[in-house]
Amino acid sequence: MTVSTVKELFELIEAEDVKIIDFRFTDPFGVWHHFSLPAQAIDEDTFEDGLGFDGSSIRGFQTIDESDMILIPDVTTVFMDPIFDDPTLVIICDIYDPITRQPYSRDPRHVAKKAEAYLKQTGIADNAFFGPEAEFFVFSDVRYGGGTNSGFYFIDSPEGWWNSGKELGSLGPNLGGQIGPKRGYFPAPPTDTLQNVRSEMVLMMQDIGLNVEAHHHEVGTAGQCEIDLKFDTLTIMADSLMKYKYVVKNVARKRGMTATFMPKPLFEDNGSGMHVHISLWKEGETVMFDEAGYAQLSDNARYFIGGLLKHAPALLAFAAPTVNSFKRLVPGYEAPINLVYSQRNRSAICRIPMYSNSPKAKRVEFRAPDPSCTPYLAFAALLMAGLDGIQNQIDPGEPIDKDLYDLPVEEALAIEKTPGTLSDVLDALEADHEFLLQGDVFTEDLLEAYINYKRENEVDPVRLRPHPHEFSLYFDA
């Protein structure tokens, strides 16, 4: 389904007998918002004049005295919604100021587009390709809550190792075969109970135009999964990841389960990351490859890595953007906390995959992100850091091709680590964001609004609440 003009859009509406048009946009924290109109309620003027909404009701957007905003639909993004009962066409929108008629500085999708434009402006490359590997959990039961005098969560899955001793119940016998901690990588059915669920997700993704490469069970017990998309350019890939998450969550719900992209829902098992593969291309050729370089990396690729390493603490404010993200970014779970690069080594924050010798396959994998991020902002920030590395020829230092969790103490202490909390990375972003402002890609008002919201609504509420485990530690004090 390819649409490039408003005329083609109306032809599609007629051909598919579309009843409802659903308009979607993304807030700075990665949540998709939508509203719908009957198909006959739109005309060509809709795509010129836009559609109004209350920007003060969206986190991180407008104050109430300047609340009016408009959406301009991007007809190139249309797809038929696979979930709704009535024929519904989805259009992703860009956000504009109704007075100035200029793109809104806090619209994540606008930031992504500006990053792509800035890349071309530098002359370094024409396109940046991104390939995220988003992991997620599918659970059968999730409960949580809290207040002044309580706080709890409970998660369950038939695959969970804690169910291996469960007695007979209303749902039938316990057949065993649960997945032990960190033993969920690629097991065949019946151990992998989610093949049919993932396959349904994949087929639905393909139906709406996503290019899926593979799917499989991941390392964690209790339903950890991964579905991989083929790489694409920055804004298109960010759009695709929003569609991806939408499909995953809705297919799980349809089957009486629930999917989450929360980075670390389970204690003492693997969290969900989103390793991001990045490559730069100019005039149809990669700028990442040099036969003579370490891991066949060009100088520009090494400098790109240098930028990622230098700005990694600030980047994590967008790439690992939750309090929970830093329950994953800890030693011992294959999560990358070491600010070094290496070929093949999954304990480095920057890895150079070596599956292929083809120049076209040469890329850098940044392993710290997780799927709770807003992809438009995370991908744009990664690109800006890498470009800063190239422009300033930032040397990433020597690669380390050792198990970074098994180094002698002296060597381990010499390696810089990622910050340990969301508060720390927000501080880092405040101190180090000049590289993001180049080309007016990110703006001061967006950064300020983002940082303030995270501190007031995520850092402080978690910091001030007693944790349930503290009662085990301290109640008898």
Please identify every residue annotated as catalytic: 54, 133, 135, 218, 226, 275, 346, 365, 367
- The number of beta carbons lying within 10 Å of the beta carbon of residue 77 is 20
Burial class (CB within 10 angstroms; exposed 0-12, middle 13-18, buried 19+) of 63: exposed
Query: Longest Cα pair distance anywhere in the chain, in angstroms?
Result: 72
State both tokens at 458. Answer: 């995520």
Q: Under 8 Å CB-to-CB from 32, ≥6 apart: which residues?
A: 24, 25, 26, 242, 245, 246
State both tokens at 356. Answer: 């292929």
What is the distance between the alpha carbons of residues 271 and 334, in angstroms, rounded to a whole number?
9
Phi, psi for residue 335 in degrees, rounded to 5: -85, 135
* CA 459 and chain centroid, separation: 20
Pairing relationship of beta strands 20-26 and 88-96 according to DSSP bridges: parallel
Could you please report the per-residue DSSP string of 328-386? HSSTTSS---EEEEEES-TTEEEEE--S---GGG--EEE----TTS-HHHHHHHHHHHH
Using alpha carbons, select from 476, 394, 374, 469 the residue that is nearest to residue 435. 394
DSSP code, position 160: B
What is the distance between the alpha carbons of residues 94 and 50, in angstroms, rounded to a whole number?
10
As beta bridge partners, residue 227 has 215
What is the distance between the alpha carbons of residues 39 and 100, in angstroms, rounded to a whole number?
28
Phi, psi for residue 361 in degrees, rounded to 5: -90, -5
- The number of beta carbons lying within 10 Å of the beta carbon of residue 10 is 17
What is the distance between the alpha carbons of residues 402 and 345, in angstroms, rounded to a whole number?
7
| Contact of 229 with 241, CB cutoff 8 Å | yes
What is the distance between the alpha carbons of residues 242 and 244, in angstroms, rounded to a whole number?
5
184 three-class SS: coil
As beta bridge partners, residue 136 has 225
